[in-house]
Amino acid sequence: MLRFQRYASSYAQSRVLRKYPVGGFIHGYEVRRVLPVPELKLTAVDLVHERTGSEHLHIDRDDKNNVFTVGFKTNPPDATGVPHILEHTTLCGSAKYPVRDPFFKMLNRSLSNFMNAMTGPDYTLYPFSTTNRADFANLRDVYVDATFNPLLTPEDFYQEGWRLEHSDIKDPKSNIVFKGVVYNEMKGQVSNADYYFWIKFQESIYPSLNNSGGDPQKITDLFYQDLVDFHHTHYHPSNAKTLTYGNFPLEESLQRLNEEFQKFGKRSRVTGELLPVCLSQDLDVRKAGQADPMLPPERQLKTSMTWICGKPQDTYETFLLGILSNLLMNGHSSVFYQKLIESGIGLDFSINSGLDSASAVNFMTIGLQGVQDVDGFRKTVKNIFAEVVNKPFNRDRIEAVIQQLELSKKDHKSDFGLQLACALVPSWTNKVDPFDSLLFDEILGRFREDLENKGDSLFQDLIEKYIVNKPSFLFTMEPVEDFSQRLEAEEKERLCRKVDQLNERDREIVYNRGLLLQEKQNTKEDLSCLPSVKVSDIPRSDDTFEVRRQEPNVWARMTDTNGISYIRTKRELGNSIPVDLYPYLPLFADSLTSLGTSTEDYSDIEDAMKLHTGGVSTMIDVSSDPVTTKPHLYFRVSGWSLNSKTEHVFDLWRKLLLETDFRKHSDKLKILIRALASNNTSAVAEAGHSFARGYVAASFSAASGISESFNGIEQLQLINRLNSLLDDEESFQREVVEKLIELKKRVISSQGLEFFVTTDSDPVVSSLAKQISQFESHLPNTLHQDGLDPTSFPLLPQKPSTLINFPFQVHYAARSLPGVAYAHQDGASLQVLANLLTFKHLHTEVREKGGAYGGGANYSALEGMLNFFSYRDPRPLQSLQTFENAGQHALQEAQWNSADLDEAKLTIFQRLDSPISRKSEGVSMFYSGVTDEMRQTRREQLLDVTRSDVDRVAEKYLLNKQGSNAVVGPEIDSQTVPPNWQIKNL
């Protein structure tokens, strides 16, 4: 009650108490505690269900984007991935909604802006968010019934988990193979070197916490009954944590939950505390991993040192550890960055670096990738901690961390509730009181007080308590050249063992089960039991955001920014860049916020940035004209701060744009290139479909070609090549430094600058206009016109099919075809067509039948490209064939009705009408040229698309049209071979 009284005077205590009376009951739930949190403009209500003991947290906040979440404590019993496969199968049909995959069916029967489910190390979470009250009730009902009353049919287990099935389902003599959505998802995860390092680290330091996602080598040991038993044990109200957020009435959600929970009794919770290894002395573990084909042999090692630092339940000490981790590792001025990365000991921090409070203990980890000398790394880390514990901490850096926390709290986020739910519920399942996590001002006030009284000892005591002269967990992953082949051999051997154990009756079951599963996948279902919002619920008029022209080149958006100003500028580069310099533009933009100036190190600039602003960024962007698809090439700079500190943003811009010294800081430039190269392969493993899609689209339009040069396979090749030059100083200066210096002359100019400011008052707008004028006066007034016009950017040669060779366990496939400009009337019909194909055809063919983790079609309205993709796909060539036949399917086989058309439109408007942050209001006009009038016209076109429109564009843009295909992944024996396939090796 002391906390409550502390806030009473500023937060209308009596109103809150009347709404949520402590000790009162609401639909079977007792109100246990109420906590107003005025600094976050919310009230938290802690309730418990009397009958089952289920706990509920309600966050009352005046936010229309409402959130519902149900979470369970799900300690994995082994590495078969049973929590993960259960997460998938609970969403495959329930007692009230006995249709195949109601979760995916609801994706196009809803106006939600987020729907998902996720498996954590020892918890499972089911969140959604929507602004529509009827939609909220619909989705809540589906989620509650799915989690507590799932059908869990054997067919769903085989489809989502794993199964043995003939490669040709209709041929009992064809080879038997492993299939399954989760099985292939996790094979894809294993292909990501960062994930593999992380999961093997976790398995080694935390052997009691089994791999909840599932190890592909163990998934095939899971039986259907194991899944059913796990659900019975863990998916019970007594083991559930539910959360609601927003401005919808709490009573409605509690009433629905109470109705569901009445058939349950009270049960002991799943409380088994899983603890990591006991570190009585240093423990050294080494594992084998995949060699990175884009890094030199001597830079392949990943290694880390970890200390156990108390428990997350002590929220204040965990907060201090987070600040300490930030001071030690975050930014160019941090001691570990300077002495581990700038010194060249490693290329970048490893994925497990920093503070991890997600489980039963806190881990503090210092890790590197690209290490040459593991012993040298460990010695250096110990020496750094020995020095840090005896040296004062920079007070400005501490204050900068606090300022970043404060600014983050003030910065309006459209998905604030969703972020809050996904932060609170996982730790809540591990006994961290969510009220403690919400007391931001109280924790910060205590920290400031302790810092004043204790000074540096506040952090030094933590280091002495947990790290200096304390045992650590040492983990290293060493590369093996044939690692991928070893995994393939293991899978073949495991498959052979499974198949050899089959008798004739078993083989008959495998064959018939495959036919049965396909029959179920092909069955057209009656979906009338599923709730749905209607297209008529979508407003015909779009939101508009008034933007006024303050000066000829200054646009202003006035809105409630909570005392913050967001400042953006862009300069169209036109024909100022020679074609050979185009690929260097992203590196140029990255360098501006990484190197330093003639008089200052970047570490000092970055410290000032954190102390006075929310951040400054620079980037190169290409966008397609919404009317002509002509590419526009822009240099963009942005920054934000409190209204009272905007002059710091412009001061930082001036330093970075005018004074960055590429020659003086060429060593820092090498560090940047090495870090970029060290992350390339993991980036492709995580988003291979995007790289494949970008590559094939570059054959059709200049904008896509430039984007591929900046962000795709071509950019990876450039960084790879530059990385190989770093030890040749003459070549490095010629091929990198000189080119960036030349780009600086061509990019930085006051010519053609435009500005967009978002703030909350006229006086601030006027002040910003003056600061903009002063900023412009410092810039050179140069104009280069001897470069390549973006419209003439050379396209990639159009090849029917390209394999982009990476040593992964799965593939990613893409197919692209040209469409039309944003303003063209066919664009809306193409967008509806893409959604129809995804939900009514490709989901079944690529995911359910093919076993890929994901697949579908999308229409990029601004780029004017129709794209098909598959993600973590065990049979990419079949997926490509499905993509190529999509036009024929749409015109000759699909039996889409008006309800299907409406559902396709609903999925489009989920994205179009999802809430946006205040800082983003009106920005699309500034960056892409899409006006409110264009958006309104497009909106009406989408709402008015008919079946005949869909058929017309399917015939015009898809049927018998020459698209371009790409697959990312390893070569497929005897199939991806020249001349039909171009092989691209990186």
263 contacts 52 by C-beta, under 8 angstroms: no
DSSP readout, 622-682?
Answer: EEE-TTT--EEEEEEEEEEEEGGGHHHHHHHHHHHHHHB-TTTTHHHHHHHHHHHHHTHHH
E-state strands within 327-482: 348-349, 354-356, 363-371, 473-480
Kindly report whether the peptide bond that precedes residue 979 is cis, defined as omega within 30 degrees of 0: yes
147 contacts 171 by C-beta, under 8 angstroms: no
Residue matched to tokens 């890094």: 295
Closest CA to 278 of 199, 360, 206, 358: 206
Which residues have CB under 8 Å from 590's CB, separation 6+?
Answer: 618, 672, 676
Element (H, E) at 125: strand 123-130
DSSP 597: B
870 contacts 850 by C-beta, under 8 angstroms: yes
Token pair belonging to 964: 């371009």
Element (H, E) at 60: strand 55-61
Catalytic residue among 87, 155, 260, 714: 87
Token pair belonging to 983: 């092989």
Burial class (CB in 10 A: 0-12, 13-18, 19+), 390: exposed
Written as one letter, the residue type at 434 is: P
Token pair belonging to 746: 């061509």
Please list, residue by residue across 358-388, b when 16 or more beta carbons sit within 10 angstroms of its beta carbon and e when fewer do.
bbbbbbbbbbbbbbeebeebbebbbebbeeb
Q: Using CA atoms, how far apart are residues 791 and 757, in angstroms rounded to an integer?
A: 29
Q: Using CA atoms, how far apart are residues 430 and 271, in angstroms rounded to an integer?
A: 9
DSSP readout, 765-803?
Answer: HHHHHHHHHHHHHHS-------S--GGGPPPPP--SEEE
Closest CA to 242 of 134, 126, 129, 409: 126
Within its chain, how far is the Cα of 693 from the centroid? 18
Within its chain, how far is the Cα of 71 from the centroid? 20
Q: Using CA atoms, how far apart are residues 525 and 390, in angstroms rounded to an integer?
A: 70
Closest CA to 344 of 388, 376, 318: 376
Catalytic residue among 55, 155, 160, 606: 160
Please count the CA atoms within 13 angstroms of the CA of 349 that sit on its side-chain side.
Answer: 21
Element (H, E) at 967: strand 964-969
Which residues have CB under 8 Å from 1's CB, separation 6+?
Answer: none
Kindly report whether the peptide bond that precedes residue 83 is cis, defined as omega within 30 degrees of 0: no
Catalytic site residue 160?
A: yes
Token pair belonging to 935: 């958006």
User: How far is residue 424 from each of residues 165, 195, 590, measured CA to CA in Å?
Assistant: 41, 24, 34
Catalytic site residue 491?
A: no
Annotated catalytic residues are 87, 160
